[in-house]
């Protein structure tokens, strides 16, 4: 059986490729766990300066693997809670990993796959990408993916997506601020790697401090954000001497 996650290193960039193409890279427990382990490993590796998250085959990720749903019912409380906790851990890691992460999106990026795509620090989308949250069409709630969505998109459009299951094109994603750029079909991975390589050029300590401060000030009130910036400004004086 092939690995559900392909890990490849190109210089300072590590590429994580979801590898369940027969399932449109749907997130089952083994794949979600593999992603968490790979992100943990990268976080502790000073040779990894940036990451790219991609999907094999026709699409980026079709969301949660519904084949597991038969076992994830209220009568299996511990199993349900453990699976939800694993997904929540994955989304937390995307933010907590100190290196910048770029998603390379193509084809379908829906439900949990949509959440994974925009959970990265930056995103590149290929023309032809279809992005959305169709959970309510199946009487499910887009629960763990909603946190990033409402932080990155205007509330009216965000609610429309989760309430109606409307799908966005790559161009609409760009207009909504969900991706950094749109590229021709077949070139999302190369564009994401190029963006990651650019982010890999500064000293690791400086980039890590930048990512940490960015997320901190994005959600803090003004005074708390200024204080965090003040402390980072003082600390950065030593970065030129750092390895």
Catalytic residues: 135
Q: Which of these, 104, 91, 92, 97, lies nearest to 207 by C-alpha position? A: 97
Q: Are 122 and 105 in contact (CB under 8 A)?
A: no
d(CA 104, CA 51): 11
Q: Are 78 and 129 in contact (CB under 8 A)?
A: no
d(CA 119, CA 102): 9
d(CA 27, CA 31): 6
């Amino acid at each position: 059986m092939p690995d559900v996650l392909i890990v490849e290193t190109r210089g300072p960039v590590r590429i994580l490729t979801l590898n369940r193409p027969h399932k449109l890279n749907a997130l089952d427990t083994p794949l979600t766990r593999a992603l968490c382990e790979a992100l943990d490993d990268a976080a502790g590796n000073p040779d990894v300066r940036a990451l790219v998250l991609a999907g094999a085959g026709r699409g980026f990720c079709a969301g949660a693997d519904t084949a597991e749903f038969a076992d994830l019912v209220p009568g299996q409380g511990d199993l349900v809670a453990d699976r939800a906790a694993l997904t929540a851990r994955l989304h937390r890691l995307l933010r907590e990993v100190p290196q910048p992460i770029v998603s390379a999106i193509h084809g379908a990026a829906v439900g949990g796959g949509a959440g994974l795509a925009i959970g990265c620090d930056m995103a590149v989308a290929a023309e032809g990408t279809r992005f959305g949250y169709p959970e309510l069409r199946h009487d499910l709630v887009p629960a763990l993916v909603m946190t990033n969505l409402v932080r990155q998109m205007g509330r009216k459009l965000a609610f429309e997506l989760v309430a109606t299951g409307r799908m966005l094109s790559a161009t609409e994603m760009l207009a909504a601020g969900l991706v950094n750029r749109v590229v021709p079909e077949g070139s999302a991975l190369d564009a994401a790697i190029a963006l990651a390589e650019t982010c890999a050029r500064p000293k690791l300590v400086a980039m890590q401090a930048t990512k940490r401060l960015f997320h901190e000030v994005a959600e803090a009130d003004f005074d708390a954000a200024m204080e965090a910036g003040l402390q980072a400004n003082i600390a950065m004086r030593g970065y030129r001497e750092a390895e």
